[in-house]
Amino acid sequence: MIRIKPRFRLYQNRNKPVYYTIILCSILAITTLLYINPWRSSSKNKFVSYSNQDLDSETQHPFYKGCNDVDAYINDPSYQRANASFVMLTRNKELEDVVLTLTSIESHFNQWYHYPYVFLNDEPFTEEFKKTIRNTVTAPVEFGTLMELEWEFPKKVRETIEFTERIKDQADRGVMYGDVESYHKMCRFYSGLFYKHPLVRAHEWYWRIEPDVKFFCDITYDPFYEMAQNGKEYGFTVIMQELYWSIPGLFRATRSYVNANKLKVGSLWKLFTDSYSYVQTDDEDLKKSIFDKKQLKEKVEEKIHIDHLLNQMKDGPVDLNDERNSIGLNRLIDRAQSKIPIFEDKFDNEDYNLCHFWSNFEIAKRTVFDNDVYDGYFKHLESTGGFWQERWGDAPVHSLGLALTLNVEQIHYFRDIGYQHSFIVHCPKNAPPEYQLPYVAGDNKFSERKSRYDNSFDYGSGCRCDCPPGHIDIEDTSYPCIDLWLELAHGMEKNSNFADGSYYPHVDLDSFEDKIKSEFDAL
């Protein structure tokens, strides 16, 4: 049984960096203890890490459990190869890291399926680079050079003093990669220009890969074909939170685009936002002060006591020996001294929770971005200057942009694909032995490969996985994002206060107040 951790919300958003750092570090420490202590799997231990559970739901589960017979799969008359390619933005100096990625993805997938590669660079690739790549892979390769308009910020922007000073300012404030101009360019390119490149547009689907990436499990089915067959349009392996100070103005810009175009966002919007619309009432003070069930009862009781006191005062002096009058007076004083909460990042009663799909791995239909709504979204973001005034990453931009049009059912979690980039690792447990098959190379260059793999588990989904020893899976440390995903994946919010692209209040305050008042009158 899946144990979904309680959800957490911060109301004072200006403190996000501190609080989230503390929370994430605490969770990482707890998870580490669970991994190094033998009792972590004990039935007496109530906490079971997500990586040690079956997380499947009716609509969200791996396309296959364990391994397929690749030859039988490809030769099935119903199978149809997709119009798809791998896409990588890289530079000549990264050749060694690119080869590491290609060797890994070829060994674990493309030696059987031979999907082409598209390599993009802001300068021409060298002949050495091209020759090495072609000798590494078993599929066609195309190399493209970006035009200045695709890579560089507009001339009227980059030649201003403000551009230079904004970049320096981010360095002074310690924003990660904030002082790396090429990183800003990369984020901007992947946010809204990559899908327009002719080499990318030639394909209906793409699989984004990066230099220095490792895959740990064999992928013996065609992800493109399976996504098309199952109505999926975007797939991820990692969901996590963004660093707040890299994108403080992103949600404001996103909400302004939604409002200006009167968009009805998809149900995926729920994964990335929190709603402050908890009560339906004409009392504006209560609207601004009630955000959850605990506050609801507390504030309504306060209102009833104060209303009772004020009604008594209409008839003359009030007997403060009456307990209800005394409580009412204290509540009135407390209300007079209390402050209405101030929210730095609340727009239209919503807040961005910083969750996003880690976009350095994504398998997607190109048209999830190459459409009027997303293209307009990118142009709107570009007009605000956030890609250089702040350090907007393509991952949160992609995630919020996808949520403008897509529903949860159109998203797929590739939990069975083991993946590592930088220090972030996701590696699934191997499926039971009956779902495993012996390794058979699809190309002679991969015929020599170790045949020992990780142990199998009843709840595992991987095919011939060989995970890094002692790794901590991002599934177990990406709170609260993975929890929100699981709530949606398991339909736990089907009857929530979200419909027609908007949040609606959870509670009719007038009805609730009548109930509490009847209890008060009975005292």
Nearby residues of 419 by Cβ (< 8 Å), 6 or more positions away: 213, 214, 215, 216, 237, 238, 361, 425, 426, 427
Which residue matches tokens 């011939």?
464
Return d(Cα 125, Cα 94) in angstroms, integer: 11
User: Which ranges constitute the DSSP H helices of 385-507?
Assistant: 386-389, 394-403, 481-489
How far is CA 518 from each of CA 280, 328, 509, 511, 514, rounded to the nearest angstrom? 20, 16, 14, 11, 6
Q: Kindly state the greatest CA–CA separation across the chain.
A: 97
From 194, 186, 210, 205, select the one nearest 392 (Cα to Cα): 186
Q: Are 120 and 202 in contact (CB under 8 A)?
A: no
First to last CA, the chain: 43
Structure tokens at 507: 């509670």
Closest CA to 103 of 230, 213, 256: 213
The Cα angle at residue 334 between residues 330 and 335, in degrees rounded to 5: 120
Per the document, the length of the chain is 523
Measure Cα distances from 71 to 74, 79, 220, 434, 487 in Å: 5, 11, 10, 18, 37
DSSP H helices, 193-322, are: 198-201, 223-229, 250-260, 269-272, 284-287, 293-313
With both helix axes pointing from N to C terminus, report the angle between 323-337 and 293-313 in degrees, rounded to the nearest 10.
Answer: 110
CB distance 412 to 207 below 8 Å: no
Measured torsion, CA atoms of residues 90, 357, 365, 55, in degrees rounded to the nearest 10: 130
- Beta-bridge mates of residue 87: 118, 208
Rg of the chain, C-alpha, whole Å: 27
Q: How far apart are CA 356 and CA 74, in angstroms?
A: 34
Query: Residue holding tokens 């142990």?
Result: 455
Catalytic residue chosen out of the listed positions 94, 233, 362, 390: 362
What lies within 8 Å, CB to CB, of 36 at 6+ separation is none
Catalytic, 362? Answer yes
Kindly state the helix (H) or strand (E) to which residue 172 belongs, with its residue range. Answer: helix 161-172
What H or E segment, with its residue span, contains residue 509? Answer: helix 509-521
CA 295 to chain centre: 29
Residue 516's φ and ψ, nearest 5 degrees, are -65, -35
Alpha-carbon span 79 to 282, nearest angstrom = 58
Catalytic residues: 362
